[in-house]
Every structure is written in structure tokens, then in C-alpha cells.
């Protein structure tokens, strides 16, 4: 009898704990500052109004994951898709978001002002905002920065992996410094930051080199974000931020939004990937080719299978992702960290975080680590809302 009672209380307390996590997650405002579904799906004609089987995101799954606010990344790489160039790429992508929102007026709202963000949250709609990833999209033209703002842009990442003529990227500063005329922001670059402050466009410092990061922090009069970056101290890769940078963001009143990509969460994952993509790949592929009588299509299939199996072995856990949040909280407090998943922009995610329905697991993990409700609400969205308000209240 004693054991039956114990079992009963155990089950009852587990389910009430699950209920309270659910309630907390539902009540909190969940903000994700980075999702690439526009460039990876919507532009190709995939309609995410209904549940999709490909990719990480759609309106049905966002609802299940309890997401309230999504910054949609307007992204183009260093090679423009459109023959007219980067700016037209941005225009086409913004247009694709506007059409998605207009097809789904009951479940989405495109917000450009803070009051619209709050209204959309109250109405239970997915509040959608535009974040432009890569300063190359303004094509060295302040007028195009203003035009993108008029189209609804609310953050701009100063660089993607490619540097602009006015800002150096993390990739170039670390891997290809000889390609740079100068590190950091030029006078025009500082002018861009000042103009963004004036226009109410948040300065996003993900992807930027350290020198650009510090130049921008010294120039901006408003709090910044890092829309999708993780912690260098745990996973030392060029895209992650060092402790001194985290302290500088805290001093600025900004937020670092954790990127979920396995290669930015786990050092082991990144190292294994480096090994498999190095000279090992060439010799392994050569062996596979010989073993399969020179059939390159069988070789490629077998290589992909091998690669997938090997990388699966080092895929990080959800706990390893939450370690990044812990690190920032321990270093500077709970006001400067948020969520910037990079869903639909990455090829591997931690175990348990496979798509946008899984956000509640982060809440559950934070609860089990003893975080207070207030603290969890800040991490899930209130910190980013604070930065949004400071940049574009009006
Ligand atoms: Zn990115």
C-alpha cells in the first residue's frame, strides 16, 4: 500500500509540475529573434500557412510551440539571387512575408511599432517583424537603409559572413584578415549605426567581427541585440561571443539571443565536423569509390549516410544549449539573454529541439534548473521586448 501511495503522489506531482511548466510557457511572451524560413522556403513557393513536413517552421507548429513574436530574417548571401542585386533581394523577401501575413490575417500581424507588437500579443497572433541579415543589402547607400526602414525593417545585422566596404565580419576578421582594407567600422559605417538609431532600427551584432562589434557598441546610443549568437567560452567558434563582449552588451543594456545550431552549441560537434570535412573526406570518398566500382552516385549516398551517422553521435543535448543561457546569466545576470533559434537556417539542432514545436522544453529545463518565473519570462522574451521598446517605442 505504501508503495502504491508513493507511486500515486509521484505521478500526481510529476503531472502537476508538467501543468505548471505548460502554464508558465503559455503566459510568458516567447520572442525568437531569428528564423530563416523566408529565404529557405517561402521564397521558393512553400506555403507555411498550413502544417508542412519539410523544414522547421510553419504557422501550425509555431502555435504549438507557444511562439508569440518572430523576427523573420531577410537574408541573401554574398551572391545576389536577383540580377538587380542585394537590395532587390531584400524587397522580394519582404514582399513574400507581406503576402504570407495577408493570407493569414487571423493568425499573423506584421508589426512595425512597439504598440502593434503589444496589440498582436494580446490578440494571440504571431507578431511578425522584419530583420535584415547583412548590411550589404543597403548597397552602400543610406537612402536604401531608409527605404528598408519604410518597408518595415526593425533590425539590421551589420554584416553576414561577408564584410561590407564599411564593416568587417567575424568570418573575415578571423579567417581572412588580409582581405580587409580595415577592421571595424569606417566613418560611413558609424554613420549607418547612427542613422539606424535615428530610424528606430535595432543594431544587430551577430556575424560582425570583434572590431566592428566594439566600434558599433561605442557608436550606438540605443541597446543592441545579437539576434543569433552563442557563447564562445563554451564553444569557441568565430560566430560566438566572448565573455568581454557579453559584458559589453550588458553594459549597453542589450540582449544576446542564443543560436540553436549544434555547431555553435557543442565544441565536439564543431571539431568532428572539421575532421570529416577535411582531408579525411577526400580519402574516405576515394575508398568508397573504389569499393563501389567507380560508381560516384553510390559513393555519394554512402558518404552522406556515414556523415549523418557520425554527426548524429556528437549532436548536443538540450541541456548543453541551456548551459549557454546559464553562462550568460552567471556572468552578467538574467537581463541580457534571449532566444534566437536560427530555425530553417541550420542543418543540425540539439536533441529534442528539432522544430518550432519544441520551445516549451527550454522552459521545462530552466524550471528544473531552479530559475524563477520572472527570470524565465525575461529569457523567453521580456529582455528582447525591452530592447525593442528602447529602439522603436514610437
Ligand atoms: Zn546568420
* pLDDT confidence band for 4 (50 / 70 / 90): low
Domain residue spans of the chain: 22-265+317-392, 267-314
What is the CA 236 to chain-centroid distance, rounded?
A: 18
- The number of C-alpha atoms within 13 Å of 90 and in the hemisphere containing its C-beta is 25
Give the closest residue to 347 by CA, choosing from 268, 263, 257. Answer: 263
* pLDDT confidence band for 293 (50 / 70 / 90): confident
Give the closest residue to 172 by CA, choosing from 183, 157, 185. Answer: 183
The predicted structure's pLDDT at residue 5: 62
Q: Ligand 1 centroid to 209 CA: how many Å?
A: 13
The predicted structure's pLDDT at residue 7: 64
Q: Ligand 1 centroid to 133 CA: how many Å?
A: 7
The predicted structure's pLDDT at residue 371: 98
The alpha carbon torsion through 185, 189, 191, 195 (nearest 10 deg) reads -120
- Output the furthest CA–CA distance in the chain (Å, rounded): 78
Q: Ligand 1 centroid to 207 CA: how many Å?
A: 7
Q: Ligand 1 centroid to 343 CA: how many Å?
A: 10
Q: Ligand 1 centroid to 276 CA: how many Å?
A: 23
Q: Which residue has cell 517583424?
A: 129
Tell the burial category of 19 from Cβ atoms under 10 Å away from its Cβ (0-12, 13-18, 19+): exposed
C-alpha cell at 42: 517561402
- Mean pLDDT, all residues of the chain: 94
Q: Ligand 1 centroid to 259 CA: how many Å?
A: 9
Conformational region of residue 167, where left means phi above 0, alpha means psi within -120 to 50, and beta covers everything else:
beta
CA distances from 42 to 1, 116, 194 (A): 58, 24, 32
How does DSSP assign 287-304, residue by residue?
HHHHHTTT-HHHHHHHHH
Percent residues over pLDDT 90 in the chain: 86
Give the closest residue to 252 by CA, choosing from 215, 223, 214. Answer: 223
pLDDT tens per residue across span 163-207: 999 999 999 999 999 999 899 999 999 999 999 999 999 999 999
The predicted structure's pLDDT at residue 213: 98
Least confident interval from 10-14, 39-43, 49-53, 276-280: 10-14
Q: Ligand 1 centroid to 76 CA: how many Å?
A: 10
Q: Ligand 1 centroid to 52 CA: how many Å?
A: 23
Q: Ligand 1 centroid to 293 CA: how many Å?
A: 40
Q: Ligand 1 centroid to 34 CA: how many Å?
A: 8
The predicted structure's pLDDT at residue 3: 64
Q: Ligand 1 centroid to 172 CA: how many Å?
A: 15
pLDDT tens per residue across span 97-129: 999 999 999 999 999 999 999 999 999 999 999
Contact 381, 68 (CB under 8 A): yes
The predicted structure's pLDDT at residue 130: 98
Overall average pLDDT of the 287-310 stretch: 90
Q: Ligand 1 centroid to 339 CA: how many Å?
A: 14
Q: Ligand 1 centroid to 174 CA: how many Å?
A: 16
Q: Ligand 1 centroid to 391 CA: how many Å?
A: 21
The predicted structure's pLDDT at residue 9: 61
Partnered with residue 258 across adjacent β-strands are 339
Whole-prediction pTM: 0.94
Q: Ligand 1 centroid to 353 CA: how many Å?
A: 18
Q: For residues 297 and 197, what is the distance between their CA atoms, to the nearest angstrom?
A: 52
Return the CATH class of domain 22-265+317-392. Answer: alpha beta
The predicted structure's pLDDT at residue 93: 96
pLDDT tens per residue across span 242-281: 999 999 999 999 999 999 999 999 999 999 999 998 888 8
Q: Is 92 in a helix, a strand, or coil?
A: helix
* pLDDT confidence band for 359 (50 / 70 / 90): very high
* Length of the chain in terms of residues written: 394
Query: Count of CB atoms within 10 A of residue 12's CB?
Result: 10
The predicted structure's pLDDT at residue 286: 87
Amino acid at each position: 500500500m505504501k508503495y502504491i501511495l508513493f507511486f500515486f503522489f509521484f505521478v500526481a506531482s510529476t503531472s502537476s509540475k508538467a501543468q505548471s511548466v505548460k502554464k508558465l510557457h503559455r503566459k510568458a511572451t516567447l520572442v525568437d529573434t531569428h528564423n530563416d524560413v523566408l529565404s529557405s522556403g517561402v521564397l521558393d513557393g512553400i506555403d507555411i500557412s498550413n502544417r508542412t513536413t519539410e523544414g522547421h517552421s510553419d504557422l501550425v507548429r509555431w502555435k504549438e510551440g507557444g511562439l508569440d513574436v518572430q523576427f523573420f530574417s531577410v537574408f541573401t548571401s554574398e551572391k545576389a539571387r536577383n540580377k538587380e542585386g542585394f537590395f532587390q533581394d531584400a524587397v522580394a523577401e519582404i514582399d513574400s512575408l507581406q503576402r504570407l501575413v495577408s493570407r493569414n490575417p487571423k493568425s499573423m500581424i506584421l508589426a512595425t511599432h512597439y504598440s502593434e507588437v503589444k496589440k498582436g500579443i494580446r490578440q494571440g497572433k504571431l507578431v511578425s517583424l522584419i530583420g535584415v541579415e547583412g548590411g550589404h543589402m543597403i548597397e552602400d547607400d543610406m537612402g536604401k537603409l531608409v527605404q528598408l526602414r519604410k518597408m518595415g525593417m526593425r533590425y539590421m545585422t551589420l554584416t553576414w559572413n561577408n564584410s561590407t566596404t564599411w564593416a568587417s565580419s567575424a568570418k573575415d576578421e578571423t579567417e581572412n584578415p588580409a582581405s580587409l582594407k580595415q577592421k571595424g567600422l569606417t566613418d560611413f559605417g558609424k554613420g549607418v549605426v547612427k542613422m539606424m538609431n535615428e530610424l528606430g532600427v535595432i543594431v544587430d551584432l551577430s556575424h560582425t567581427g570583434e572590431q566592428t562589434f566594439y566600434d558599433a557598441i561605442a557608436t550606438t546610443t540605443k541597446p543592441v541585440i545579437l539576434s543569433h549568437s552563442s557563447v564562445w567560452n563554451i564553444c569557441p567558434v568565430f560566430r560566438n561571443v566572448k565573455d568581454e563582449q557579453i559584458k559589453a552588451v550588458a553594459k549597453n543594456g542589450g540582449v544576446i539571443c542564443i543560436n540553436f545550431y549544434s555547431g555553435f552549441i557543442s565544441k565536439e560537434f564543431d571539431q568532428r565536423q572539421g575532421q570529416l570535412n577535411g582531408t579525411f573526406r577526400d580519402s574516405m570518398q576515394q575508398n568508397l569509390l573504389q569499393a563501389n566500382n567507380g560508381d560516384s552516385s553510390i559513393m555519394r549516398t554512402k558518404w552522406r549516410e556515414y556523415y549523418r551517422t557520425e554527426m548524429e553521435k556528437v549532436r548536443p543535448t538540450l541541456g548543453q544549449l541551456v548551459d549557454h543561457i546559464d553562462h550568460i546569466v552567471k556572468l552578467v545576470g538574467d537581463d541580457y539573454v534571449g532566444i534566437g533559434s536560427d530555425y530553417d537556417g541550420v542543418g543540425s539542432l540539439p536533441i529534442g529541439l528539432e522544430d518550432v514545436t519544441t520551445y516549451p522544453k527550454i522552459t521545462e529545463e530552466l524550471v528544473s534548473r531552479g530559475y524563477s518565473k520572472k527570470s524565465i519570462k525575461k529569457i523567453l522574451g521580456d529582455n528582447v521586448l525591452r530592447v525593442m521598446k528602447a529602439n522603436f517605442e514610437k
